[in-house]
Structure 1
């Protein structure tokens, strides 16, 4: 009975597209995890490091380490705020404004670049989108995968289908052409 009520509640939430910030956060992180898990096997067939644009508290970085334990994973953020065990080693942590520091990695040939740096404020995200697509293309190897919480509009990025259960517009996957 409770399960059916819970399912009905979530079905209704999906239909109205309104939800609490907590529900939205959970669905965004679930989409992120499902996408990263879904592309892991393909990324493992590609050469190159993994880049995490937006370390935050290190949750996604920690998940990337689980998925790609044999890869160099470079994380970028303004400041080091990750939970202790989720902090990258000094040589793989790049601090400063991502739009500036990530430019130094253009041409690195990353197999995967993940960016979860959206703010939820259209005006701020619009500024980020003036530089993020170009950086993602620049750091990726040909056929490398870009995963982003923001929609990336660039001729060299081919949109890929989302895994089942991930709502369109919640998260985005691309392949560099």
Structure 2
């Protein structure tokens, strides 16, 4: 499979997974957390699918498309190792988290997901979901939509 085909598969899985998760949390109170803004495409999709929820965004840099800049009060710039405990201390409660951090080097990405997992879990409300392209620890893995290869995207319930 070419890298372009793999990219298409990833985007399809991401859309299907986020749409499924948005439906799954319909009765769950809490905000949304986008971990990794990048160019803002996923954030834009979350705004569209969950217009009545506050969406917190964490990233090292703000370098997204101008139409996808989050409101200042919901963008937290910095290293997730520092930012996530600060959000928990502020009482932020998350119903849906999308974990989209990554360097593109599998071993490094898995290590980062393992390190950040214990910082994500305290933010999650009971019944909340984490959608992730990296394996996480300490959360209960669940099956996502049938359209997604379980190895492509991962789903966890708090």
TM band (smaller chain): over 0.9
Residues 23-172 of structure 1 correspond to what in structure 2 (within 5 A)? 23-106=5-88, 107-154=91-138, 157-172=139-154
Measure how far apart 1:113 and its partner are: 0.8
TM-score of the two chains, using structure 2 as the length reference: 0.92
Cα displacement string for residues 17-48 of structure 1 (whole angstroms, at most 9, x for unaligned residues): xx111111111111011011112122121111
Give the number of aligned pairs: 156
Point out the more displaced range, 95-104 or 52-61: 95-104
Is the 1:113–1:139 Cα contact (8 Å) retained in structure 2?
A: no
TM-score of the two chains, using structure 1 as the length reference: 0.83
d(CA) in 2 for partners of 1:120 and 1:141? 29
Is the 2:140–2:156 Cα contact (8 Å) retained in structure 1?
A: yes
Is the 1:55–1:75 Cα contact (8 Å) retained in structure 2?
A: yes
Structure of greater Rg = 1
Is the 2:34–2:99 Cα contact (8 Å) retained in structure 1?
A: yes
Point out the more displaced range, 108-117 or 129-138: 129-138
Structure having greater relative contact order (Cα 8 Å, sep ≥ 6):
2
Measure how far apart 1:78 and its partner are: 0.5
Measure how far apart 1:129 and its partner are: 2.6
* 4+ runs deviating over 2 angstroms: none
